Copies of this chain bind each other. A is one copy, B any other.
Amino acid sequence: MGRQRTFVCGLDAAFAVVGGKWKALLLWELAQGVRRFGELRRALEGISEKMLIQQLREMEHDGLVHREVYREVPPRVEYSLTAFGRSLNAAMEPLGAWGDEHKARIEELHS
């Protein structure tokens, strides 16, 4: 992925795994429960299949997401959070609450 780097603070390290446009949303969605590929695609409106699988793979590599493959026809793959992923989601909750609280203000600023 990226070259080895030293993080100057915890925020830096945290953003290395949840940064970008989609990962925080994926984390939140998977925190609601186990999800299949297609469910995630519909939940994150606007994401392309490429980005979805790419973000999922990176989160799997980072140990946040577990991928369970069922060898059936048609194929079925279920994604869920690991304990590590759940701990991250818990740490993001205050931030989510803050965003919820100031949602309207932020939307207006970015109009």
A89 to chain B, nearest CB (A): 10
Interface of A is mostly: helix
Using a Cβ–Cβ cut-off of 8 Å, how many residues does chain A contribute to the interface with B? 51
Contact of A93 among B13, B16, B94, B101 (CB under 8 A): B94
Copies held by the complex: 2
A98 touches B94 (CB 8 A): no
- A62 lies within 8 A of chain B by Cβ: yes
B98 touches A91 (CB 8 A): yes
A64 to chain B, nearest CB (A): 10
A45 touches B8 (CB 8 A): yes
- A87 lies within 8 A of chain B by Cβ: yes
